[in-house]
């Protein structure tokens, strides 16, 4: 199978974590969407131009990180990232959506706001996004009060999504006051699959941050 990805893309990182967790063989193909020729070639594979894309051994083209991870889980069943229990499965899906819509969505809103001139920041859409982000982070913190991972003792698709999202969230929002969430991110960062992905994407992210109009912190 082939994975079209970018090292600093949080959605690419979700899939890479799953691939490393499941110890699957794949061919990584790095895509540079900032290069016109590379971008045009990629549009022939993914008409939306979004990263990542997985091409299976049968030639099927799969889009969207969560769908790709579900495919990988069915492809290799020995190490499962999708709970079989219906209640755990529903909770995993709920938390994955909360991470994607409210945490990642809030992070994107705050990041875009940080690149506006100071007198243009903090409009009502940004205030709303930050409120939803904080509500989501508090919910995750509560869930993690007595859990190692988001859905309990098993590392799941939700954790694959949380790892890069929480890493990039630190650029624009400090959640260290949430002790359970902070401790959880530390556990994530120490997991070999996650550490490998973070290391590969860090250089590209630092290069991107260095070109910003208004500098932001990276921890």
Q: Domain residue spans in the chain? A: 2-75, 86-209
Domains 2-75 and 86-209 share a fold: no
What angle do helix axes 65-75 and 10-21 make, rounded to 10 degrees?
A: 10
Antiparallel, parallel or unpaired: β 53-55 and 61-63 = antiparallel
Class of domain 86-209: mainly alpha
Class of domain 2-75: alpha beta
pLDDT tens for the chain, 219 residues: list them.
Answer: 999 999 989 999 999 999 999 999 999 999 988 888 988 999 999 999 999 999 999 999 999 999 999 999 999 888 999 999 999 999 999 999 999 999 999 999 999 998 888 888 889 999 999 999 999 999 999 999 999 999 999 999 999 999 999 999 998 999 999 999 999 999 999 999 999 999 987 777 666 655 665 555 545
Residue 29 and residue 20: Cα distance in Å, rounded? 16
Q: Are 66 and 75 in contact (CB under 8 A)?
A: no
Report the alpha-carbon angle 19-2-40, nearest 5: 125
Q: Are 155 and 192 in contact (CB under 8 A)?
A: no
């Amino acid at each position: 199978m082939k994975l079209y990805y970018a090292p600093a893309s949080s959605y690419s990182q979700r899939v890479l974590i799953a691939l490393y967790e499941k110890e699957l063989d794949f061919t990584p193909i790095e895509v540079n969407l900032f290069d016109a020729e590379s971008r045009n070639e990629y549009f022939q594979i993914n008409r939306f131009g979004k990263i990542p894309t997985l091409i299976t051994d049968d030639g099927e083209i799969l889009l969207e990180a969560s769908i790709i991870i579900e495919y990988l889980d069915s492809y290799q069943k020995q190490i499962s990232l999708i709970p079989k229990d219906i209640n755990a499965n529903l909770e995993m899906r709920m938390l994955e959506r909360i991470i994607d819509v409210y945490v990642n969505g809030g992070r994107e809103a705050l990041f875009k706001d940080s690149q506006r001139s100071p007198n243009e920041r903090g409009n009502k859409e940004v205030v709303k996004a930050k409120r939803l982000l904080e509500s989501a982070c508090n919910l995750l913190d509560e869930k993690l009060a007595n859990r190692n991972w988001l859905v309990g003792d098993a590392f799941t698709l939700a954790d694959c999504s949380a790892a890069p999202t929480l890493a990039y969230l630190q650029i624009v929002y400090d959640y260290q006051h949430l002790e359970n969430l902070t401790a959880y991110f530390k556990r994530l960062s120490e997991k070999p699959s996650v550490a490998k992905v973070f290391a590969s994407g860090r250089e590209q992210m630092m290069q991107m941050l260095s070109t910003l109009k208004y500098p932001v912190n990276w921890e």
